[in-house]
Amino acid sequence: MRKITVVGAGNVGATAAQRVAERELAREVVMIDIADGIPQGKALDQWESAPIEGFDSRVTGSTSYDAAEGSDLFIVTAGIARKPGMSRDDLLKTNADIVAKVSREIARVAPDSIIIMVSNPLDVMSWVAMKASGFPRERVIGMAGVLDTARYRSFIALELDCSVEDIQALVLGGHGDTMVPLVSYTTVSGIPLTQLLDRERIDALIERTRKGGAEIVGYLKTGSAYYAPSAAAVQMAEAIARDKNRILPSAAYLTGEYGQDDIFLGVPCKLGEGGLKEILEVELTDDEREELNRSAQSVRETIAKLEGV
């Protein structure tokens, strides 16, 4: 790719920009933020690390979207972060307004680009971005399932004292307390998780996964997670930039898949050149389907709160 822009130069955005540059996913990496000096300073600092880290992606920062003109892909992290006691829904109206403005600017300067949405509440912000930008669903994708699945895998690895690389899993549904880790698709080097842990321990790991973001917020007090979220967004960006056809759980706009319509929901997606190439419909147990329907309903109810925003 020629240019990737990260919107928001806070912890998530700046870390994502650094990862994009270090992987050389684009010739140019741009950070945009409303706080003058922050994107310019962080970008310069990152570029000065290039001789040490060995990358040639040119990193720049700006407060103007004109600097992002012609970008192939945007990673959107703009918005306020969660604080202790806040739910993702508490961020709803403030971040919806921010994301709508950002999306219109993206459509103005890069009408053929792809958006990876990171701002919370994730599924709803993806919906806002698609409506505000006018982009087709193939070019607006939410980062949720990759992060949630990574948390699930990391907790299983701790429980079993094994490598995270040996754990395969899928977490679907909305990004929040209603997410749906699919136990039936969770294996450790091909061994079903149910053969290694009893249901009580599995349920405890699922609950910790659902509360994973809040657990970090509780520790940090004045901020939220950014290392894992940025890594998840950049994994999606790499799949698209390098046309890898990765099967990654992502928030996609559904038009009948899994019995859902006109909402973004975490489902298995094939990501490559052009963005979303395919949504895979996998078989679910009755309990998993019921949980996914509940998760979809929660997302739908949150979207309904946006009326008039």
Strand ranges across the sheet with 275-279:
58-62, 28-32, 3-7, 73-76, 114-117, 140-142, 246-255, 261-272, 275-279
> Counting Cβ atoms within 10 Å, is residue 233 exposed (0-12), middle (13-18) or buried (19+)?
buried
Tokens of 130: 């698609």
Tell me how far apart the alpha carbons of residues 264 and 116 are, in angstroms, rounded to a whole number: 13
Paired strand residues for 288: none
Tell me how far apart the alpha carbons of residues 233 and 254 are, in angstroms, rounded to a whole number: 20
Tokens of 65: 């979207």
Tokens of 236: 């999606």
> What are the distances in angstroms from CA 101 to CA 65, 88, 194?
11, 20, 46
- Does the annotation mark 16 as catalytic? no
Q: Which of 3, 88, 151, 175 is catalytic?
A: 175
267 neighbors 30 (Cβ within 8 angstroms): no
Q: Where are the beta strands (DSSP E) in 27-149?
A: 28-32, 58-62, 73-76, 114-117, 140-142
Kindly give, in sequence order, each residue whose CB lies less than 8 Å from that of residue 62, ignoring residues fewer than 6 positions away.
30, 31, 32, 39, 40, 68
223 neighbors 81 (Cβ within 8 angstroms): yes
Tell me how far apart the alpha carbons of residues 4 and 73 are, in angstroms, rounded to a whole number: 5
Active-site residue list: 175
